[in-house]
Structure 1
Amino acid sequence: MRWWPVSRKAAPAGPVVDQDGVPVLAKAAESFGDLSQLGGYLAANGIRVVDPGVPLSNYADTAAAARVWETQPSVRKVVDYIARQLCTIPWHVYERVSDTDRRRVTDHPLALLLGQPAPHRSPARLWHSTLVDWLIYDRWCQQLLPSADTASGFELRRKPARRFHVLADDDDEPDALHLISSRGPATVVPLPAPYLFDHGYATVGADGTSPMLTLRQILAEQTEAVEYRRSVWRNGARVPAVIERPADAPAWSKTTKERFQAAFNAFMGRGNQAGGTPILEDGMKLVTVEAFKPIDTQDIEGRRLTDAEVASAYHIAPELVGAREGTFSNIDAFRQMLFTISLGPYLTQWQDVLNSMLVPLLAPGSNLYVEANLEAKLRGSFTEQAALLQTAVGAPYMERAEARAAMNLPYIEGTEDLVVPLNVLVGGLASPRDTAPDALPKGRGRPA
């Protein structure tokens, strides 16, 4: 759809109607600054455009988020932290046999696809790129395609967020996908289709709202602060001082002034004299003044403030990304809450997409479902796991052969049996780490 700047002339007194008597919107003379303003005005006033394609307001988030990954360290730090934590969670497929029985499935194409979603790319890398799209643009999309290079016979191909938009109906419900290609014209794919996608809330349409639109003032302020600090370091004197020249000193010629200025600049520049002390003449004095110092720019404080603002926007504790100092106890508490309170909603939304879109495509009419294996992320240290498992089963849980293999020791015959200590009886002690109380009568699990 072609577009051009539009100006609205001042409205005459009284309502304006067309030739059929229908009121026409009229406002004071004003120009649209960009596509977002024009698209927002049209949508807010209920004006429908014939063959609108992609709503004009959808281009605003694409422009705002286009280079943020490259130019904004705070955004990249927080987004990469979230994406790295989520993309390394393994996905398991289960069959719901009954309300009390679940069986893991490993040989179904659905499980094979989640284990190898792309033929020439690791699963973590594919999911990482998709999650970055989601976190920056508030939308993501993958296409399900047949493949002869994977065990499942299918592959998931990421559609970059900058190359697709979600078209919506009048109720802001997804109606089609608008795919932009660099090799040909854009295509509109009606839904449902073999695609996985998700989007956040948008005031108009179903394309999501990029967090970069909300954070752009803070990010712009950070950009200006960095540029200002660079200018201070580049142009400011290396010492807070001025050179005083006696009032009765002979006047400088142009040549003399240029010579002294060039010599002084050599001490300020990046040559072999930089950082030294200039040689003064004509009774000059180097006088220290209370001037603005580079430390006053509060470089570290400014960066931490931006990191904390971005982390809060993504609902991540600033201590986890180094934006705020923390103690061992509260950082450990934040780590325990990471996959429940902080990243739990992201994981649930992602899991819902797989179960509502991918499962019907590969296992229609089945009782299969996909679930994230959070235990792989929540495991404690080896000593914590050993104590927990030993307490849970009430006896040793590892064979001597398994223990030797874990320590990379050679196999020895006769070490396959599970050794049970004499002070542990089935139905006796609750744990091999417990001791039998003296008051326990004979015949109730205590040896005679």
Structure 2
Amino acid sequence: MPSFESLGQLGDYVTANGIEIVDPGLPLTDLTGDHGARHVWHTQPSVRKVTDFIARQISTIPLHLYDRVSDTDRKRVTDHPLAAVLGTPAPRTAPARFWHSVMVDFLTYDRWCVQKVPQGDGGMELVRIPARRFRLVADGLDRVTKIRIWTADGHYTDRDPDGYLYDAGYSPRGANGVSPMETLQDILAEASEAVAYRRGIWKRGARVPAVIERPADAPDWNKTKARDRFIESWRRYTRSGGQEGGTPILEDGMTLKKVDVFSPRDTADLEGRKLTDAEVASAYHIAPELVGAREGTYSNVEAYREMLYRDALGPLITLWEQVINAMLTPDLADGRPLYVEANVESKMRLSFEEQARVLSSAVGAPWMLRAEARARANLPAIEGADDLVVPLNVAVGGLASPRDTAPPPKGRGRS
């Protein structure tokens, strides 16, 4: 029997070897695996900030269904059961909220799983299986053979992987991935200690960087009740004393003398938080400037945003598409060459003015119908607005650009 140095190693062994633990309450793997991944969402602000940023960006990308007509022709499909699943994966749940939860599972546990539930009308419902409630059972080559789910009645049940969408990152042992919280645990523990230390300073430290000095020849406090009266009156100027922010009155020639104690800057509170934010953002391959962990200029933040969906989130989006196309699309495609693609362009879209200028120059002519323009402005349709208005000088190729219509300056002719 092997020996284990920690509960984490025991959890890895239990998961990798498919050992079932008799536990009528919480699964033992919930306590031994993932090193507290399920707690970081509400205890680690840096992890929540970065993972929520990534999950929000990805989950709000629309998923479109296309028919591969030929190698050079694609047609978007909207009236198909698979398109309906993509539009509403789970009833009474917004698609972005559904995929947000799935992405957070992956970002914190390094695995996610969604059950495919066929419906009577030929459609399908998707049900998220929380990462804390399932494990992927693999063979000796780390190929997934079963999905082991902890059910509500307190038992494990093994399911056929064909009925699920799932993915997990690399793991040296087993097929359940390695939670990024394991890699970040030292940084997060250090951040927690720093927060506790600063909280202790603010709780027990001096509120006013000064002391009260009383003359040596002042009346003896030990023989009167003046000392207790003065201390009680001074407490009224502290928190919840009733006179916070007022000016206390000193007695018996007392003086207020400034002393050197810690200042808010000495606690390095803001710098410490930003450092942790930057470390976590770097671990998730996100530019710290995008989550406010590092100061940036307008130009470099714009550059980081341009790289966001290509270099930072691009691999995650590609994995998302590949899992859907490999595990969901074949179930509903009925042999048609359908495929799902994330419409990343919707997140990188320029402003309307920039789009109008770029597209107009690219096609060499007006590109929007009057009816489409009215629809963008939420105006009702009118008769005769479905034709594209093209200036004659553009239709006959008189100008290089449809925007090049301004007359030449006075005194100059067009060469």
TM-score w.r.t. the length of structure 2 is 0.86
SS in 2 for 1:305: helix
Q: Which amino acid aligns with 1:238?
A: R
Instruction: Identify the match of residue 166 of structure 1 among 112, 117, 136.
Output: 136
Counterpart of 1:225 in structure 2 is 194
1:117 aligns with 2:89: yes
CA contact (8 A) 1:93 1:104 kept: yes
CA contact (8 A) 1:237 1:268 kept: no
1:138 aligns with 2:107: no
1:216 aligns with 2:188: no
Deviations 1:77-135 (A, max 9, x none): 11111111111111112222322222222222212211111122111111111111111
Q: Which moved more, 1:423-432 or 1:209-218?
A: 423-432
1:363-374 equivalent positions in 2, closer than 5 A? 363=333, 365-374=335-344
Structure 2 distance, partners of 1:69, 1:254, is 56
Deviations 1:112-165 (A, max 9, x none): 2111111221111111111111111111100000235xx752100000011111
Deviation at 1:319, TM superposition (A): 1.2
Counterpart of 1:303 in structure 2 is 273
Counterpart of 1:189 in structure 2 is 159
Q: Which moved more, 1:292-301 or 1:313-322?
A: 292-301
Change (3 A) 1:415 1:351: closer
Q: Which runs of 5+ in 2 are unaligned?
A: 22-26, 409-415
CA contact (8 A) 1:164 1:177 kept: yes
Instruction: Identify the match of residue 93 of structure 1 among 65, 86, 98.
Output: 65
Counterpart of 2:169 in structure 1 is 200
CA contact (8 A) 1:64 1:216 kept: no
Q: Which moved more, 1:310-319 or 1:267-276?
A: 267-276
Deviations 1:38-80 (A, max 9, x none): 456x69xxxx96x623898885444511221112221111111
Q: Which amino acid aligns with 1:334?
A: Y
Paired-residue identity, %? 59
Instruction: Identify the match of residue 382 of structure 1 among 331, 334, 352.
Output: 352
CA contact (8 A) 2:11 2:32 kept: no
Q: Which amino acid aligns with 1:301?
A: E
Q: Which amino acid aligns with 2:175?
A: A
Instruction: Identify the match of residue 305 of structure 2 among 322, 328, 335.
Output: 335
SS in 2 for 1:378: coil
Structure 2 distance, partners of 1:281, 1:389, is 79
Change (3 A) 1:413 1:277: closer
SS in 1 for 2:305: helix
Q: Which amino acid aligns with 1:299?
A: D
1:270-419 equivalent positions in 2, closer than 5 A? 270-363=240-333, 365-409=335-379, 411-419=381-389
SS in 1 for 2:302: helix
Deviations 1:213-253 (A, max 9, x none): 11222222222222222222222222111233445653636
SS in 2 for 1:271: coil
Deviation at 1:206, TM superposition (A): 1.0
CA contact (8 A) 2:142 2:174 kept: yes
Structure 2 distance, partners of 1:418, 1:90, is 28
Structure 2 distance, partners of 1:169, 1:135, is 25
TM-score w.r.t. the length of structure 1 is 0.81
CA contact (8 A) 2:66 2:339 kept: yes
Deviations 1:266-285 (A, max 9, x none): 32232212344444445443
SS in 2 for 1:67: helix
Instruction: Identify the match of residue 46 of structure 2 among 55, 62, 74.
Output: 74
Structure 2 distance, partners of 1:262, 1:34, is 53
1:243 aligns with 2:191: no
Count of residues paired in the alignment: 400
Deviation at 1:260, TM superposition (A): 4.2
SS in 2 for 1:267: coil
Counterpart of 2:19 in structure 1 is 52
Counterpart of 2:24 in structure 1 is none
Change (3 A) 1:253 1:319: farther
Work out which structure has the larger RCO, using CA pairs closer than 8 Å and 6 or more positions apart in sequence: 2
Change (3 A) 1:143 1:244: same
Deviation at 1:388, TM superposition (A): 1.8
SS in 2 for 1:252: helix
| Greater gyration radius | 1
Structure 2 distance, partners of 1:174, 1:255, is 79
CA contact (8 A) 1:238 1:275 kept: no
Deviations 1:329-367 (A, max 9, x none): 111111111110111011011111011111222236432
Change (3 A) 1:400 1:369: closer
Change (3 A) 1:368 1:412: closer
Counterpart of 2:413 in structure 1 is none
